[in-house]
Chain A
Amino acid sequence: MTLDLPADEMDRLYGPDFPALRGEKQMKRGSMVAFTVLALVLAACGGNETDSGAAFDTVAAGTLTICTDAPYPPFEFQADNGTWTGFDLDLMSKIADDLGLKMAVTVQPFDGIWLAPAAGTCDLVASAMTITPERSANALFSDGYFDADQSLMVRDADIAKYPDLPSLAGATIGVQTGTTGEAYAEENAPADSTLKSFDEPAAMFLALESGDIDAILQDFPVNAERATAEPGKFELSQSFPTGEQYGFATSPSNTALMDAINAALAKFRSDGTYKQVFDSYFGG
């Protein structure tokens, strides 16, 4: 499940200053300081919510219920034995352990998933979801935990024809409804290209294979995973650093849970747990 694109391929796609997916960049120094301060503040407040789980409410007692749009490898999918795994869910199950809770997974379509905690469907969204101002209006986001970069994937045979986004003039670009990829395409795709939006990546991959669309614009790791899994079928043609990050989201009122999540994230960043999970998907 790791992304083992050769280093020069990574540089071509991503530029040499974007090493996050090689596992080199773990976090920015500024956020490290912020995490530490936050952790100290939380410790000073003296709440032991991380052990008892009593300081915040969950929709099911003793359980951290996660909303996610799966399968979305390598972030959320079911292993052959049926357990939920992927970068988000591995990280989340460790966080749940840390909070003394069991993790339960509820699968939801991505579009509007950030509204689910406020609706009482689950406690938290962990779904490779980019933090955006629009979504923040109706959900409370954690600190960023992953660089949310976008990329363009085309059929292998078309790589010379469509080397980048501007070359897709007059073509059809597939995007997933409600994603930042869709928003990026709406802003940056050539004016005479057609955007076709899909509920889920599975239909989008079929549509690309069938020739119904000419390219897919979506999160880099998801495209990269697919291009690596099926060599000779799809190829990444361009990627777009956005400067945005994925975050977990709760209901806007559930600050107690979010404080605990952020504290656990900060702890995992500093004790190497985060790096271990990261490397198991994107390392090497």
Chain B
Amino acid sequence: MALTRRQRIRATRWTVYGLSFALVIGAAVTVDWPALAGALFKVDLIPEMFPAVLTQAAKNTLIFTSLGFSIGLVLGLVLALMRLSKVRAYRWFAATFIDIFRGLPALLTILLLGLALPIALGGWRIPGVYGPGSLAVGIVASAYMAETIRAGIQAVPRGQMEAARSVGMTYTQAMVFIVIPQAFRIVIPPMTNEFILLLKDTSLISVLGVTAQTKELTRFGRDFVISSANATPIVIVGLIYLAMTIPLTRLVGQLEKRAARAR
């Protein structure tokens, strides 16, 4: 071939553009747009979903998420510190805990905590209507967060701890006031991921059964699909999930930029 390297790159690029264009045109011509809109975006169904989809479903999703995230964050931090501890029993416990709950599907953990545990414990259950579901997604999240936080703590330069100790701080003081705050700044981006994963995992909680009080977004959408025989509600709740997660990722992106400037 007599093409130069630059010509080859250009030829490849134009082929990709051409194929993509052909695909888009092909889709635009073959898809029955009014039928698609009727199936996925039936406008007259949308007002029926409001305001319950926000005041009830989205609210419950946020309650499960915030409870779960709080539990996950505290538990994850404790587990991370245990993983880094000098005490072998702590390290062993944390490693086992993380292995189990990172390895189990979230759905199984939810079923185990919500339904199997009360049977095993003779009827004692995790209190609160939001309790079992939030605790289960929180525990799953904590297993992931523990490893993230541990990596964050280890990424703080050793000199920080040494300097803190040399000015007379105890190990605990140095951890709490010097190392952990810096570690958290490092782990903000991966923690945003954890938050979003947890937000989506709350859609599994409905396996424990939902009352009118605890119905979250996914369940709400599915129930609405059944009563309307149309897929529009799924699209709407999908958009609401995105309306929660996309601004969050943008906000965290801004925070990161500011943090980077401050450094």
Contact = CB atoms under 8 A, between A and B. Distances in A.
A203 B111 contact: yes
- Dominant SS among interface residues on chain B: helix
Given A112-B226, A177-B223, A195-B212, A210 B118 contact: yes
A138 B210 CA distance: 26
Nearest to A172: B211
A211 B226 CA distance: 29
Given A210-B115, A212-B118, A204 B209 contact: yes
B207 interface: yes
B209 A196 contact: yes
A142 B227 CA distance: 21
Nearest to A139: B229
Interface in B102-149: 111, 114-116, 118-119, 123, 125
A207 B125 contact: no
Contacts of A138: 229
Nearest to B210: A197
A283 interface: no
A206 interface: yes
B118 A195 contact: no
B208 interface: yes
B116 A196 contact: no
B225 interface: yes
Interface string A211-254: 11100000000000000000000000000000000000000000
A231 B90 CA distance: 45
B117 to A, nearest CB: 8
A178 interface: yes
A209 B225 contact: no
A212 B210 CA distance: 11
Contacts of A195: 211-212
Interface residues of A, number: 25
Contact of B211 (A115, A194, A210): A194
A138 B226 CA distance: 10
B211 A203 contact: no
Contacts of A112: 222, 225-226
B208 A207 contact: yes
A40 B116 CA distance: 55
Interface string B142-186: 000000000000000000000000000000000000000000000
Given A112-B222, A210-B119, A211-B118, 7 more contacts: A134-B227, A194-B212, A197-B211, A203-B207, A207-B115, A210-B115, A212-B209
A281 to B, nearest CB: 28
B115 to A, nearest CB: 4
B70 interface: no
A199 B111 CA distance: 12
B66 interface: no
B192 interface: no
Nearest to B123: A211
Interface string B195-228: 0000000000011111110000000001101110
Nearest to A134: B227
Given A177-B223, A211-B125, A203 B209 contact: yes
A209 B122 CA distance: 10
A160 to B, nearest CB: 18
A134 B114 CA distance: 33
A53 interface: no
A284 B122 CA distance: 37
Nearest to B227: A134
A210 B115 CA distance: 6
A111 B222 contact: yes
Interface string A183-199: 00000000000111111
Contacts of A73: none
Nearest to B39: A119
B209 A174 contact: yes
A196 B210 CA distance: 5
B123 A210 contact: yes
